[in-house]
Every structure is written in C-alpha cells, then in structure tokens.
C-alpha cells in the first residue's frame, strides 16, 4: 500500500502532462507574439527614420532597418516612416509598401518604397561656355518626364530649387525606384526664349548643379543707300521682343556689332540719312544684317521716274504733243546726247514693279480659331495621362446608337492616317498615350500593329485594355485569356512603344468575374513580362485580387459634382497602394448611354464635369490618369473633336494639363533669317508715289474721254442736212 502511495505523485504528474498537451497546440499565433520587423528601403538610402511601438530605428547604408515590435497585428496603423532630411540636399517620404507588413512575422523583408526630393541649382552659359549673368533671365520653365511643369520667375531664378528626384513603382521582382528627369522648355531673355524646347535634359539623382546653355549670337548691323552703293545713316533703332528700345550708333566703318544678341525676332530702323521703315529680322545664328535707307536723292529719282511715267501716258493719248519731242529727239541724235532720263527711269520703275514680292502677314498674327494660352485652372498632372482608345470601328459602326460624330468623319479603325491624326491631336493636348481596347483576333491584331507603328513614328506611348468579356459581357474562358496574354507578351513585351512604366501595362477588363485563385493562376506566367492590372469596382475586390499588379477603375458614369466619387477613388487608391500596385484613376467629361438602353446621363456642363472629375482623380494620388475616353461615341464619353462639341473638351483637357492648345512654334538654329516681311521700303515708296500721281491722272483722262464721247464730232453742215427732215 505504501508502494502505491509512492507511485501516486508521479502518475498524477504524467496525467497532468497528458491533459495539458492539447493546450500547447492552441497557443497564440506567431503574429501575436513579439518579434523583429525587417524593412528594406527602396531606393536604399541611409538614415530613413522608422518608428513603431515606441521603438525607433534608422536605415543603414544598404537601406535596411530592423525594429522590435510587440506583435505583427495591425502594423499598418502603428508603423510610421517619417518624412525627413537624409542629407543637406535630399529629403525622403513614404511612397508605398509592397505587400502586407504581417509578412515580417515569417522573418521576411518588407519593401518600403520612398519618394525622394533633391535640391538643385543652375547657372547659365552661352554657346561657348562663357558665363551669362542670371539677372539677364526673367523666367524659366522646366518640365519633368512625369508631366510636372515648374515655372520660375524673378528671385526664384537665383535660389536653389527642391524637385522630385525619384518615385517607386511595382516591378516584376518587387518595388523599383524610378529616377525622374527634367527638360528645359524655355528661358526668357528680353522677351524671347533662348533655348530649344526640351533640348537640354537633367537628372537630379546624377547631377545637382545644372549648366543651362543659352542661344546668344554675334550680329553685325550696317545700312546702305537704296539705289546707290554707299553707307547711310548714323545708327540703328533696335526694338526687342519685350518692347524695350535700344539706340546703337555706327562705328567709323559704318557697322555696329552686338556680340550677345538673344535668339529671336527684332524690329530694326536706321537712324538718320533719310527715310527708313521698320524691318522685322529673325536672329538664329551669327550673321550680318544690312538695312536700307531712302535718301533725298532716292526720293528725287523716284519722283522723276513716276513723273516720267505720267508724262509718257499723257503723250500716248495726245499725238500732236509728241511732235516737239520728235524734234528734240532728232536734235539729240545729231548732238549724240543720251536718251532723256524719263525713259530710263520708266524702265527702272517697270522692272522694280515687276519684282515686288507679295505682301505677307507678319509672324505675330493670330491664326484663325486660335486663342491665347491661359494659365491652367488647376496644377498640371505629374503623372502619365492615358486616354482609352477604341479600334473597333467599321464604317457601319456609326449607324448604331450614335448622336454625334467625329469631325474627321465616320472613319474605319483600319485607316492609319486617322490613327496618325488622333495621335497628333492627343499629343498636342498633353496626353501621354492611349490605352487600346484589344483582344486576340485577326482584325484587331492588324489594327494594333498599325497603331504601334504610328505611335513609334510619333514618339507616343500605348497600353492595352484586354477585353476579357464577349459582346454580351460574359467572361471569356480562362484558357483564352491566358493564350491572348501570352501572344501579346511575345510580340510586344520588349517594344519601347509600350514603355509607360517599366513593363507594358495590360488592363484585364473582366478580371472581377473570376475567383482570386483563378486570376492568380491565369496571370502568373504573363507577369514575367507584363504588368497586369484589374478593373475592380470596390475595395473588397481590390483586396481579393492581390496577385494583380494594380487596378484601373473604368468609372465613366460617375457625376463628380453630385456623387461621392472623390471618397471612393481615394479609398480605392489607398487599397491598391497598400499592396504596392499601380493605380490608374478615371477622368471623364460626361456620360450618356441612353441610346443603348441605359438610364444614366451625366451632363458635360461646358467642361465643368471634366474639371471636377480631373480634380477628384488627382486627389487620389494616382500613378496615371485614365481619360474615359478618346473615342467612345456610344456612351458619349469622348474628348475627340466632334461635330457637336468641336474641340471644346480637348481644349479643356489641355488647359487642365497646362498645355497651350495652339503653342507658338519654337525657333531653332535652323530657322531661316531675312524673311520677306512684305514690300521692301523702296518698293513701298515707289508704289505709294505712283498711286498718288497715276490715279488722279487716270481719273482725269477718263473724264476727258467721257466728255469727248458725249460731244458730236460730225461737221455742222452735215448735221443740219440730217436734221432738216425733222422740221417738215
């Protein structure tokens, strides 16, 4: 019995161990336990501050940081990546996080995408590298490769500038940092731009100190008499593009040299020595400009010539007056004197009049239908602007459910010239590229190939909207989707025309009709070469399609002035970016699908709908803007110029993007100088004097002939014999 009592305690311990073993199996999940969160900054930058649960850390030289956390639940709300200066000339801020922070529980490294800004400065030089004082410039315009436009004036030209340096985007193997660059569109000196538009490119990541080369030229001016080979005048009056007038005197050799004249057009007038008319001259290279002066002797010669013409005309109608001249001519021959000066002048004037160039309107004239560029009502979009583009049209397509038609006519999508004109109109309005509606058929393959060639020739970009639904809007078989994506990837994955982002963008229309597992399995192989985006219409669908590379919401029927579309777009963007995806936000000018059975109409409101939609899309922090649409004439969302609206909505879009609808052509070094700006001064003077003298003479002769025709010329006796029978 005592032995049994001695064995009882060990038995009880064993029993308790067996009973407690299942409890160990239901212990708290690892994500609820303390641990270390491993983060990798993209790009790898030292000194980025990270804080969570009161613990802070900074990234090392490789951009890595490890932070202790009490658990991995809800880290999205507890983690803070601070905006901070990581150097005297660089700042960073959180852009996006790839995947979920809960991945850290499995000792994985979570990628944190950063936006960086950098402080840059610049100086100006001429074509030969000599410094140009900054005070000579009055304004400068910079443009980034994402479309951001920076205008600098006054003191801003002398101070360093903070500019966006890089941003992150989803790549095939995780987040990738994309370096931004800037081009110089204009530098204004004396009212004219002295750079070739987009001719100079600067990458802030590589260089902080920029050297901007300005186009100044060495120009020599001189003046000569109109008819005689001799110098004339005492100097020139030079009017610059900004209206400033400068008086320059001739040196002893009769010339005046301006060594640093900005490229542009000037009005020149000779001072002293006679009469000089203002002459516009375009300066685009080192050159010599000779102006013309009408002296007193020239005026006298022209007057004698015109008088000779008048006398000659009078003599032609008065034969009896030519007899004394014949006698004088005979005497002159006997004395071997030259022919009278009047005849010589007559020949000269006739030749001069025959060589007069046709008058031409000055370059400053405004083209019909154009309007001056106004300051954009909203800031320009700093992201690619893509318009949804349809290649479904046949001539018969316009006979169904249309209330408006393109100004280019009821075209077919096979017409490459139509494609070219579409691309050029879109580029002029600030559109970066088209999102082309496509699926793998013989006809659409041919049309897409033609559009690719047009876009390549016009330096335009393309993306794809893969139509994964049929005409009745039923989803296509997944095997068909997989095959079509593979065909597109094989043909175009390496084509620069599709280089909007690091890899070609394909938006899978209809992806929300499948399960998350089906979507992931279908796009897995295509994602090696493509970025496949979905068309989710809610945050829940976005969260369920984590295998996709982002979302492009095709929401054309929203009324931004009545609905809460802004809040929905912001929520969609947040959900997409939380998973490290691309977000293409919708922009639409209006909507009307009643011709195909719909009941929804969103009025255009003369552009206010488009402006409000643009503002809502921008606030969602998109990676690109998707304009719905270029040519969807069935749902009436088009911005293509049409018979009903003209170019109204393309102009509104251009205004929103900060693009002038009809920008003036920029001068370059190949611009011809010395253009014919109407009649030369001497020709204008000759024509004026001739009109003043000859018109009255012509009127006088006409009246004389009229009176002569009204007076009977028969003898008086004959008249009486004919009139006699009237008295009987």
DSSP class per residue in 651-709: HHHHHHTT--SSPPPPP-TT---S---SS-HHHHHHHHHHHHHHHHHHHHHHHHHHHHH
Helix (H) or strand (E) holding 505: strand 505-509
- pLDDT for 355: 40
- pLDDT for 148: 87
pTM for this structure?
A: 0.48
- pLDDT for 399: 86
- pLDDT for 642: 93
CA distance 544 to 547: 8
Cβ atoms of residues 558 and 548 within 8 Å:
no
Does 629 sit behind a cis peptide bond, omega within 30 degrees of 0 on the bond before it? yes
CA distance 607 to 601: 15
CA distance 484 to 468: 9
Read out DSSP for 530-553? -EEEB---SHHHHHH-TTSSEEE-
Phi, psi angles (nearest 5°) of residue 48: -75, 120
111 pairs with which residues across the strands? 40
Q: What letter does residue 474 receive in the DSSP assignment?
A: P
Question: Which residues does 447 contact at the CB level (< 8 Å), separation at least 6?
Answer: 391, 413, 414
Residues of the chain below pLDDT 70: 1-5, 7, 14-28, 102-106, 312-381, 661-697, 699-704, 707-728
- pLDDT for 695: 67
């Amino acid at each position: 019995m005592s032995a049994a009592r001695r064995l009882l305690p060990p038995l009880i311990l064993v029993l308790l161990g067996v009973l407690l073993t299942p409890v160990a199996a239901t212990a708290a999940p690892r994500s609820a336990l303390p641990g270390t969160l491993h983060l990798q900054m993209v790009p790898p930058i030292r000194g980025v501050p990270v804080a969570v649960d009161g613990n802070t850390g900074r990234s090392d030289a490789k951009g890595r940081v490890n932070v202790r956390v009490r658990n991995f639940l809800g880290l999205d709300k507890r983690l803070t990546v601070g905006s901070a200066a990581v150097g005297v000339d660089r700042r960073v801020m959180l852009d996006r996080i790839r995947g979920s922070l809960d991945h850290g529980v499995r000792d994985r490294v979570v990628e944190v995408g950063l936006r960086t800004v950098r402080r840059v400065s610049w100086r100006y030089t001429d074509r030969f590298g000599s410094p140009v004082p900054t005070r000579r410039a009055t304004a400068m315009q910079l443009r980034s490769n994402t479309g951001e436009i920076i205008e600098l004036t006054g003191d801003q030209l002398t101070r360093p500038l903070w500019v966006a340096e890089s941003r992150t985007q989803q790549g095939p193997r995780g987040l990738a940092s994309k370096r931004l660059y800037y081009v110089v569109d204009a530098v204004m000196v004396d009212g004219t731009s002295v750079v070739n538009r987009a001719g100079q490119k600067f990458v802030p990541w590589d260089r902080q100190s920029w050297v901007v080369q300005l186009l100044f030229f060495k120009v020599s001016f001189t003046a000569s008499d109109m008819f005689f080979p001799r110098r004339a005048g005492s100097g020139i009056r030079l009017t610059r593009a900004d209206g400033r007038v400068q008086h320059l005197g001739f040196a002893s050799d009769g010339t005046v040299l301006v060594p640093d004249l900005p490229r542009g057009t000037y009005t020149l007038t000779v001072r002293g020595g006679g009469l000089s008319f203002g002459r516009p001259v375009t300066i685009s290279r080192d050159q010599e400009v000779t102006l013309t002066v009408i002296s007193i002797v020239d005026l006298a010669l022209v007057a004698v010539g015109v008088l000779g013409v008048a006398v000659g005309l009078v003599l032609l109608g008065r034969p009896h007056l030519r007899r004394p001249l014949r006698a004088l001519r005979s005497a002159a021959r006997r004395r071997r004197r030259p022919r009278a000066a009047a005849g010589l002048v007559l020949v000269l004037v006739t030749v001069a009049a025959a060589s007069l160039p046709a008058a031409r309107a000055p370059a400053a004239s405004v083209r019909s239908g154009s309007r001056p560029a106004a300051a954009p009502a909203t800031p320009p979009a700093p992201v690619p602007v893509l318009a949804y583009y349809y290649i479904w049209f046949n001539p018969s397509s316009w006979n169904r459910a249309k209330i408006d038609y393109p100004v280019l006519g009821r075209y077919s999508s096979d017409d490459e010239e139509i494609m070219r004109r579409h691309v050029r109109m879109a580029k002029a309005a600030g559109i970066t590229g088209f999102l082309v509606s496509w699926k793998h058929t013989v006809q659409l393959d041919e049309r897409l190939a033609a559009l690719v060639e047009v876009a390549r020739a016009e330096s335009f970009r393309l993306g794809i909207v893969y139509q994964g639904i049929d005409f009745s809007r039923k989803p296509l078989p997944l095997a068909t989707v997989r095959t079509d994506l593979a065909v597109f990837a094989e043909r175009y994955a390496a084509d620069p025309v599709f280089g909007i982002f690091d890899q070609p963008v394909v938006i899978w229309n209809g992806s929300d009709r499948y399960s998350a597992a089906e979507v992931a399995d279908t796009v897995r192989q295509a994602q090696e070469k493509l970025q496949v985006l979905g068309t989710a219409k809610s945050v829940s669908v976005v969260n369920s399609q984590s295998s996709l590379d982002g979302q492009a919401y095709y929401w054309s029927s929203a009324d931004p002035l009545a609905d809460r579309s802004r809040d929905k777009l912001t929520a969609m963007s947040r959900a997409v970016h939380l998973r490290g995806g691309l977000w293409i936000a919708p922009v639409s000018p209006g909507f009307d699908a009643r011709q195909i059975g719909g009941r929804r109409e969103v009025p255009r409101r003369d552009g206010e709908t488009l402006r409000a939609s643009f503002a809502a899309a921008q606030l969602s922090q998109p990676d690109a803007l998707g304009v719905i649409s270029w040519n969807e004439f069935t749902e009436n969302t088009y911005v293509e110029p049409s018979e009903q609206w003209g170019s109204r909505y393309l102009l509104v879009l251009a205004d929103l993007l900060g693009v002038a609808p009809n920008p003036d052509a920029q001068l370059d070094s190949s611009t011809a100088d010395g253009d014919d700006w109407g009649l030369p001064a001497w020709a204008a003077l000759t024509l004026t004097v001739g009109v003043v003298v000859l018109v009255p003479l012509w009127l006088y002769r006409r009246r004389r002939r009229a009176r002569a025709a009204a007076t009977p010329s028969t003898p008086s006796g004959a008249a009486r014999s004919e009139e006699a029978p009237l008295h009987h």
